[in-house]
Structure 1
Amino acid sequence: MQHEKQGERGQKETLHSYRNLLIWQKAFLIAKEIYKLTELFPKEERYGLISQLRRAGVSVVSNIAEGFSRKTEKEKIQFAVIAFGSAAEIETQLLLAKELQFATKEEFEKTEHLVLEVRKILNSYLLKQRQVKQ
């Protein structure tokens, strides 16, 4: 989403939002899909995998947003690394939940695909930042 404001000379300036980022949009979908998917899990998992998955899903999208909002490249990278780690957590927890048959393989597919996409984008960004540093 873009916001407009008046510049010093009266021109309209466009402020870019993390919501415009494809990676944020995909991460937002991950969080949403995790909430829907975990509704299918056994109720006794409320404080186990359900809680872990939801927290990790919110972590990915939140860290992408926060990283975008930071001023220094070092901070942006730090939040991308955290988001990448949280996405790895989700990947592992989804694998476990699938093995335990908490939902059908088909019900896991959309979320797994989104997580893979987000991890690839984050990995590409982090690799690029390492190359820039060298």
Structure 2
Amino acid sequence: MHNFEKLKIWQKAMDIAISVYEVSLLLPNDEKFNLVHQIKKCAVSIPSNIAEGSGRNHNKEFVQFLGIANGSTFELITQLILAKRLNLVKEEIIQPIISQLVEVLNMKFSFQKTLKTT
């Protein structure tokens, strides 16, 4: 069992979730129940799955939850790119978040490899 609050990947994922919530305020109201809802859901899913996996009994289970978090990360990147391509949010707002998401992805992949070998 791992203390998720001490994991850098969880901390960074939480920071990203906050950034995404802030960006969602910039999106038009007619997207409130579509893209905004989906973006927020994915943003929350990433640190939530890291936390849930950290509380599992075996590293194999933790790796599985990190994989789910990876899927949510790719989904969120896609949604942010869509918001940018629809001209709902400027690239200079979206790109730093996408860069942070890629960084977290790389960290998760490395962490998964470490957990698989222990």
TM value normalised by structure 1: 0.81
State, as a whole percentage, how many aligned pairs show the same letter: 38
Tell me which protein shows more strand as a share of its residues: 1
Which residue pairs with 2:61 in the alignment?
A: 75
Q: Which one has more relative contact order, counting CA pairs under 8 Å at least 6 apart?
A: 2
> 1:50 aligned to 25, 36, 51, which one?
36
- Structure number, greater radius of gyration: 1
Instruction: Tell me whether 105-114 or 92-101 shows the greater mean CA deviation.
Output: 105-114
Which residue pairs with 1:125 in the alignment?
A: 111
CA distance, structure 2, for counterparts of residue 77 and residue 31 of structure 1: 21
Which residue pairs with 2:79 in the alignment?
A: 93
CA distance, structure 1, for counterparts of residue 72 and residue 83 of structure 2: 16
Is residue 115 from structure 1 mapped to residue 101 from structure 2 by the alignment?
Answer: yes
> 2:11 aligned to 25, 36, 50, which one?
25
> 1:39 aligned to 25, 45, 56, which one?
25
After superposition, what is the alpha-carbon deviation per residue over 1:11-46, rounded to whole angstroms, capped at 9, x for unaligned?
xxxxx6311111001000111111000100111101
CA distance, structure 2, for counterparts of residue 26 and residue 41 of structure 1: 23
Asked if the contact 2:60/2:115 (under 8 Å) is kept, the reply is: no
4+ aligned runs moved over 2 Å, structure 1? 125-130
After superposition, what is the alpha-carbon deviation per residue over 1:44-76, rounded to whole angstroms, capped at 9, x for unaligned?
101111000100010001000111111111210
Which residue pairs with 1:11 in the alignment?
A: none
CA distance, structure 2, for counterparts of residue 17 and residue 67 of structure 1: 10
TM value normalised by structure 2: 0.91
- Note the residue ranges of structure 2 that are not aligned, 5 or more in a row: none
